[in-house]
Amino acid sequence: MNYYTGQHQHYCGVDLHARTMFLCVLDTRGYPLLERNIKCDAALFLKVVAPFREGLVVAVECMFAWYWLADLCEREGIAFVLGHALYMKAIHGAKAKNDRIDAQKIAALLRGGLFPMAYVYPPKMRSTRDLLRRRMFLNRRRSALITHIKSTFAQYNLPEPAQDVARPSQREGVAELIPDPGASRNVRLDLEMLEFYDATLTKLEQELTVIARDHDPDAYFRIRTVPGIGKILTLVILYEIHDINRFPTVQDFASYCRLVKPAKESAGKRVGSGGAKIGNVHLKWAFSEAAVCFLRRNEAAKLYRARLVKRHGKAKSLTILAHKIARAVYFILKRKTVYQPESFFA
């Protein structure tokens, strides 16, 4: 956990919502100079904080609407800090809670050097990263349609179709295998939606590949040298990381990817683990998916996993393999090299 320890003349805590924002400005002694609820308007925000612009720092908790405020502060030369939502327990654990209290606590944590920082993703690549996340959401919806088709067959105690409905060329006549007309129409509706998702995702993936290569082509092709990491996984990894230098060590990177289980200890005794949801869920998915794909047509990887299974079991062996792939990607980007199987399996 990293805390913001910068010293300023004025500390502005913002409890940000979709349409409104509550501002609290403290001086160096912790005395409140301003407490006001305003609309989410750039011109109005600058007008309200104008008397405190000298040595001003603005802090906000990480939520879905922070983009515009971060970009505004960058344009105006105002220091901006983004708070890690899961670490800011001092805000959420109070006996009483409202916008005024939350804004005061954000400003107080900022002033005291106890404000947990989240990464402020740069605007240039932000929209493409969000587009990749949207693509993952749509792909899960597509998978849900395929699952629903199979479950419909199970509802009527019918064998699953021999065709692979995930492939467009094998969907012909699948709906007609169900004698009930209503259920057949239900499956036909799923197949029609699958056609739409296939066309949309194919077009989106082509556009994303072109955009990504424009940003950092060297990193793109270096990550592609890892077996099992294709175009989409490369894009997800590249855009979720952005800059590998923001992780001082490979352990920090693995923790950010949710590939380690942090231990909780007290008086020298282990009392469990926690923090499973702290980190980047998209990188967790990407490296877990890469571990499965890594095993395909890779005999050396299959032998390595067989050894892991004997020691740790099936499920944990995949997690260890995902962790190892993440470490390999870290050093590939850090050292600007390519995948080397001799080093990976050493």
pLDDT tier for residue 77 given thresholds of 50, 70 and 90: very high
pLDDT tier for residue 335 given thresholds of 50, 70 and 90: very high
Q: How far apart are alpha carbons 304 and 301 in whole angstroms?
A: 5
pLDDT at 147 over 70: yes
Give the pLDDT of residue 180.
92
H or E segment and range at residue 322: helix 314-335
* Averaged pLDDT for residues 293-302: 92
Q: How far apart are alpha carbons 217 and 53 in whole angstroms?
A: 40
Give the pLDDT of residue 297.
86
pLDDT, tens digit, for every residue of 180-206? Answer: 999 999 999 999 999 999 999 999 999
Q: Does the domain spanning 3-116 belong to CATH 3.40.50.261?
A: no
What b/e readout covers 172-187, taking b as 16+ CB neighbours within 10 angstroms? eebbebbeeeebbebb
* Averaged pLDDT for residues 308-312: 93
What b/e readout covers 15-35, taking b as 16+ CB neighbours within 10 angstroms? bbeeeebbbbbbeeeeeeebb
- Residue 17 corresponds to which tokens in the numbers above? 């919502």
pLDDT at 285 over 90: yes
pLDDT at 214 over 80: no
pLDDT, tens digit, for every residue of 232-284? Answer: 999 999 999 999 999 999 999 999 999 988 878 888 888 777 777 788 999 99
- Of 203, 199, 191, nearest in space to 164 by CA: 191
pLDDT, tens digit, for every residue of 5-30? Answer: 999 999 999 999 999 999 999 999 99
- Of 135, 172, 139, 9, nearest in space to 79 by CA: 9
pLDDT at 304 over 80: yes
pLDDT, tens digit, for every residue of 84-105? Answer: 988 887 677 767 889 999 999 9
- Residue 115 corresponds to which tokens in the numbers above? 């404000």
Give the pLDDT of residue 213.
67
